[in-house]
Amino acid sequence: MTFSPKQKQVLTWWNSSRFDAIVCDGSVRSGKTFSMGLSFFLWAERNFNGRQFGICGKTIASLRRNLLADLLPYLAKLGMAVREHKNENAVIVRFNGHTNSFLLFGGRDESSAALIQGSTLAGVLLDEAALMPRSFVEQAVARCSVQGSRLWFNCNPENQQHWFYQEWILKARERRALHLHFSMEDNPSLSPEVRERYKRSYSGTFYRRFVLGEWCAAQGLVYDFFDPASSPVDPPPEHQLSAWRISVDYGTVNPASFGLWGKFGQAWVRTREFYYDSKKSGRQKTDEEYADDLLRLAGNRKIERVIVDPSASSFIESLRRRGLFVVRANNDVGDGIRVTAGLLRNHRLLIGKDCTDFLREIDGYCWDERGGRDVPRKANDHAMDDLRYFAMDLAGGDCSSFAACVRR
């Protein structure tokens, strides 16, 4: 395998006593994740025996997919004896007479900090650190109390007000951290054609962050690559659609939005929708009335699953009483937008021309630029919410980065 000069820095930085940590940020597909993972195992096996280490991702599933799936076979090729204990979320590695344990952790939300609490680690690697709660990252760092322990972080950029940028990127020198900024050109395994494909997959804020590798504020339209005039499609004939699902953003005072989705090859097409604004209509609907509306939208189609706003507990029960299979949506807004953008941009989600309320909303769906956080403006966003619920369910709720969805 060929490594770029920057990857070689990652592979050898721990030979110096100048640094206690390494921070790698920059564009997607830049080779930072694999080189950091390889370096972490080489460092651990050379310098320790009988110790525990932590490897952290947004979720354990994303960690296995994004890092371990390629890395563990490569370690075996280097002569390491690698045994993964999936039920225990651990990897045992033997090499040159040293045996160490690598514990896997998911840093999905604030409660995740409790999972790593109590561990004594000789080092920790945090993959996609900027997507993890600060409490989880700080708890992981605090667990590294063994003499000679070191910290390893990688991430794609977020906004400049993000705590990780403020505490680790800007303060790298005072934290004795080596900061390396990656671009796609630092990945020798990426062909020019693939680089160009990734560049075409992003625009606006996501282009600046994931292609240029810039920490920048989210500005303008959220899905600025989607043109309501040219992006919608004529849905294929229904006999060509192999499965059906419905996504729901529930509202009583606020509007309710339902999307009917049909599977067409590897894509899902929003063929029809239901949208009801009680303020405009002058009357709020009950759960049962909305359930009737949903069944009318479904018609005689066999609906595989209904993905519903997780806060709509009574409506969910109403649908279940009618025999529908209902799942509570993943309501992570930041991850949801990344996932949705990737699926829309790569034509895994298609929007029918008759979905007029969807097209009206997406044309004005903007980032809220006032708070320094990556959140959309809370106005006229109900079809956007049901779209996000559908995308996260389609991705298994586990695409921890926009890039992961582009790769699929």
CB–CB of 176/60 below 8 Å?
no
Cα–Cα distance for residue pair 320/104, rounded to 1 Å: 36
- CA distances to 233, 277, 361, 365, 403 from 385, rounded to whole Å, are 21, 15, 10, 11, 21
Residues 64 and 198 grouped into a single domain: yes
- The last residue of one of the domains, among 210, 226, 259, is 210
pLDDT of residue 396: 85
User: Which residue would you say has higher pLDDT here, 196 or 369?
Assistant: 196
pLDDT category at 369 given cuts 50, 70, 90 is: confident
pLDDT of residue 286: 96
Residues 291 and 372 grouped into a single domain: yes
pLDDT category at 362 given cuts 50, 70, 90 is: very high
pLDDT category at 204 given cuts 50, 70, 90 is: confident
**Mean confidence (pLDDT) of the chain:** 93
pLDDT of residue 46: 97
Range of the domain at 297: 238-407
Cα–Cα distance for residue pair 341/374, rounded to 1 Å: 14
Residues 150 and 244 grouped into a single domain: no
pLDDT of residue 69: 95
pLDDT digits (tens, 9 = 90+) for 48-101: 999 999 999 999 999 999 999 999 999 999 999 999 999 999 999 999 999 999
Cα–Cα distance for residue pair 135/314, rounded to 1 Å: 33
pLDDT digits (tens, 9 = 90+) for 277-320: 999 999 999 999 999 999 999 999 999 999 999 999 999 999 99
Please check whether residue 227 lies inside any domain of the structure.
Answer: no
Please check whether residue 274 lies inside any domain of the structure.
Answer: yes
> Residue 400 above 80 pLDDT?
no
**Residue 153 is part of a domain; what is its CATH number?**
3.40.50.300
pLDDT of residue 198: 85
Residues 86 and 188 grouped into a single domain: yes
> Residue 408 above 70 pLDDT?
no
* β 256-264/90-95 pair status: unpaired
pLDDT of residue 113: 85
Residues 152 and 278 grouped into a single domain: no
pLDDT of residue 404: 46
For residue 302, give every residue at least 6 positions away whose Cβ sits within 8 Å of its Cβ, in sequence order, or none.
244
Cα–Cα distance for residue pair 149/19, rounded to 1 Å: 11
Average pLDDT over residues 154-183: 96
Residues 188 and 285 grouped into a single domain: no
CB–CB of 303/324 below 8 Å?
yes
For residue 65, give every residue at least 6 positions away whose Cβ sits within 8 Å of its Cβ, in sequence order, or none.
404
> Residue 216 above 60 pLDDT?
yes
Bridge partner residues of 56 (DSSP):
105, 126
Residues 276 and 144 grouped into a single domain: no
CB–CB of 285/276 below 8 Å?
yes
